[in-house]
Amino acid sequence: MQTTLTDANFQKEVLENLEPVLVEFGADWSGACEMLAPILAQLREEFNGQIKIARLDVDACVHVVAEYGIQEVPTLLLFKNGQVFDQIIGVAPRQVIATKLRALLN
């Protein structure tokens, strides 16, 4: 199940979460985000119980978007212990994202 992030729950769901979190900063109107959705669904299954994969709508969450300086969608931020560990801007192949997720676990 995909977690939907908001300005209100971002602190609890991402920054205070004990497991690593991948946050997709996306938008419903973005074709690139639409292309990324099935890749993230596969990764959500592959890393189930190890990494939370969540989505944040950039149009609905202006405070978090501004705080992290998000300018393009999709942008993936990988969080570990409440801090940004890595990022990917744009659509990346599943293997590239999976490699970064494995690094996040180490």
Kindly state the helix (H) or strand (E) to which residue 32 belongs, with its residue range: helix 31-46
C-alpha–C-alpha distance, residues 83 and 27, integer Å: 23
C-alpha–C-alpha distance, residues 39 and 92, integer Å: 9
Q: What does the block give as tokens for 62?
A: 């202006």
Strands 75-80 and 83-89 turn out to be: antiparallel
Tally the domains of the chain.
Answer: 1
Residue 26 belongs to what domain range? 3-105
Helix then strand count (H, E) for the chain reads 4, 5
CATH assignment at residue 7: 3.40.30.10
pLDDT in tens, 48-95: 999 999 999 999 999 999 999 999 999 999 999 999 999 999 999 999
pTM to 2 decimals?
0.96
